[in-house]
Chains A and B, each alone.
Chain A
Amino acid sequence: MFRLALSRLGTSRLRTALTMLGVIIGVASVVALVGVGQGATGGITARLQGLGTNLLTISPGAARTGFTRGAAGSSNTLTQEDATALAALSGIAAVEPEVSSSGFVVAGSQNTTTTVLGTTPAYPEVRAFTIADGTFFNQASVDHSLRVVVLGATTATDLGLTSSAIGQTITIGGVPFQLVGILQAKGSTGPVSQDDQAIIPITTARAYFSGGDKVRTIGVSVADANQIELAKATITTTLQARHGVTASALDFSIADQAQLLSTFSSVGATLALLLGGIASISLLVGGIGIMNIMLVSVRERTREIGIRKAIGARGRDILAQFLIEALTISLIGGIIGIAVGLTISVLISTVAGWAIVFSPVTILLAVFFSLAVGVIFGVLPARQAARLDPIVALRYE
């Protein structure tokens, strides 16, 4: 029976190929999009982990005031002293307060506008950065408000600066700074790149760009990743006491990476599902293509069906013949589609630098779905063929 189907399909190769193409495109896009979705999720998750799993980020303003929060400055409740107090707590490895503003940076003939971040030497440790060239500025630079700068990888590239530029002078907002280091790139984790910033001592930032003793964010590195919850509780108690607020009216919030990670993973899963869903529509279209061609085929071969019935074929023999034809198209199309889809997702993952996700479940599902498409869309034409009245079929011209 299978041999019969193959030889039948062989006699109208172009038509079979075109019908199969519909299934190939459908299956390939499902496999590729699901693969890309998983790859993207995996890639971004890996980068989020690169942010430092021990990292707690304290921001001003209670989380529950949510969308009604005022301008950032108006709710600036965190201070340099808060940061100092937190650093003294046990279980805390490092603390770095941050202030930030936007700045126009010029290096020779190149210029760019970027985030100017004022912080302390704890920054690389807390934010899990490594230094690519030069060094990070030290505590003395902070104590003396030195005009030294460490550039993010992207900013350095934008300004055409490489390792040979360490020691060179660049200007930020017209103020000259000495370039002391360039950070290793981390890759983008969202619209704001961590690699696009100019980092200067927090005291220097206060002196030249943002006055006052308020800080935008305090980054805390917890000594033991298993003690994150305990650390959060200790920090909350400490800041509550310092700010004189009750537990029900906190004027700060603490975000941890684990929370962000799990949020992102679920978003990623939804994304993969959504992409797969969209791609299934093309699989559906491929299925309709099979049904269309099978209906035409049944009509064209009405006489053949009549002959087969006359020489002893039962309805179910004819049904099987046409179903197997539809299944053959969809299965071969499915297998080719999987190969094409995997190739596409490997290519995209390679270009984007994600780990290649090879999921046997996706492959099995794709095979299953292409077979299902063959059955669902093949059964109607096959039943039509099986039910043909032999005398009507034999008279058909």
Chain B
Amino acid sequence: MTAVPLAPELLVGTPLIELRGVTRVYSTGRLEVPALRGVDVDVWPGEFVAIIGHSGSGKTTLMNIIGCLDRPTDGTYRIAGEDVSSFDDDGLARIRSRTIGFVFQNYNLLPRTSALENVATPLLYQGVGRRERLERAKAPLERLGLGDRLTHEPSELSGGQQQRVAIARALVTEPALILADEPTGNLDTASGEEVMAILHELNDEGRTIVLITHEAEVAAKAQRQIHVRDGMIVS
């Protein structure tokens, strides 16, 4: 484990993410499935945190809540000091648009849409004009070595390339937090290591990264690990 000491100024002030006693119960018909059962999590600006747990332990549920895609059934969640429960759906969309960049296991790129258009789309929802969008979308793609793949559609790209497009899309809005849910899960070892290297590079630049994984060796590369089991934090 490479324990990078945190810069002291990052430990003062408010955490970027602050979950207190968060529960999430899914109601499926008559059945109530408690996916999260009283979770406390703090993530400070600039950290690289891995959330690790077995399949079905509640990792994705946790990510959805951290990513403002979902709300806790109970408990409080503050992002950058603001209580998420005070936001309506548009407010949550705004946080997703300005503050968070998502990287999913299955890439989740828009089908039949070029890499450039995919990366430019988050800017559409910030109200950026088309020309500026496409201009700004180029930089992260070029940075991730996809400068010659701008017009390719997802179906014309390898898994590793698609995931790099997805990371570029997460980066284009310059978000404070990057949330990656099993980003290496569908990739071969080489591409997976590449993606991890990129995430570390981004963290070195000061971006906060929350990585979700069930693989111990992937998690081991993070500064800090949060273990989830049966919807609870065990360490």
Chain A residues near B (Cβ < 8 Å)? 3, 11, 303-304, 306-317, 390-391, 394
> Given A3-B130, A304-B110, A304-B111, does the pair A311, B122 have CB atoms closer than 8 Å?
yes
Residue B69, interface by CB 8 Å? yes
Inter-chain contact B112/A11, CB cutoff 8 Å: yes
Question: Which of the residues B90, B108, B169 comes within 8 Å of A314, measured between beta carbons?
Answer: B90
> Given A312-B93, A312-B96, does the pair A391, B69 have CB atoms closer than 8 Å?
yes
Residue B55, interface by CB 8 Å? no
B180 to chain A, nearest CB (A): 13
B110 to chain A, nearest CB (A): 6
Q: Which chain A residue has the least Cβ–Cβ distance from B113?
A: A7
B131 to chain A, nearest CB (A): 12
B119 to chain A, nearest CB (A): 10
User: What are the 6 A-B residue pairs with the smallest beta carbon separation, nearest first?
Assistant: A312-B97, A312-B125, A314-B93, A311-B122, A390-B69, A307-B108
- For B63-74 the 0/1 string (1 means CB < 8 A from A) is 010010110000
CA distance A391 to B62 in the complex (A): 12
Chain B residues near A (Cβ < 8 Å)? 64, 67, 69-70, 89-90, 93-94, 96-98, 102, 104, 108-112, 121-122, 124-126, 130, 169, 173
Q: Which chain B residue has the least Cβ–Cβ distance from A310?
A: B102
Q: Which chain B residue has the least Cβ–Cβ distance from A3?
A: B130
Question: Which of the residues B69, B90, B130 comes within 8 Å of A394, measured between beta carbons?
Answer: B69
Q: Which chain B residue has the least Cβ–Cβ distance from A395?
A: B60
Inter-chain contact A313/B108, CB cutoff 8 Å: no
Inter-chain contact A311/B111, CB cutoff 8 Å: no
Question: Which of the residues A304, A313, A391 comes within 8 Å of B125, measured between beta carbons?
Answer: A313
Residues of B close to A314: CB separation below 8 A: 89-90, 93-94, 125
CA distance A119 to B231 in the complex (A): 107
Inter-chain contact A317/B125, CB cutoff 8 Å: yes
Question: Which of the residues B67, B94, B124 comes within 8 Å of A310, measured between beta carbons?
Answer: B67
Inter-chain contact B102/A315, CB cutoff 8 Å: no
Residues of B close to A311: CB separation below 8 A: 96-97, 102, 121-122, 125, 169
A299 to chain B, nearest CB (A): 15
Given contacts A308-B110, A312-B126, A391-B64, 4 further A-B contacts (CB under 8 A): A303-B108, A307-B109, A314-B89, A317-B124
Q: Which chain B residue has the least Cβ–Cβ distance from A387?
A: B89
Q: Which of A309, A311, A315 has the most CB of B within 10 A?
A: A311
> Given A304-B110, A390-B69, A394-B108, does the pair A310, B96 have CB atoms closer than 8 Å?
yes
Q: Which of A3, A316, A391 has the most CB of B within 10 A?
A: A391
Residues of A close to B112: CB separation below 8 A: 11
CA distance A312 to B99 in the complex (A): 10
CA distance A306 to B96 in the complex (A): 12
Inter-chain contact A308/B121, CB cutoff 8 Å: yes
User: Can you list 25 A-B pairs with a CB-CB distance of less than 8 A?
Assistant: A11-B112, A306-B108, A307-B108, A308-B110, A308-B121, A310-B69, A310-B96, A310-B108, A311-B96, A311-B97, A311-B125, A312-B97, A312-B98, A312-B122, A312-B126, A313-B93, A313-B97, A313-B125, A314-B89, A314-B93, A314-B94, A316-B90, A317-B124, A390-B70, A391-B69
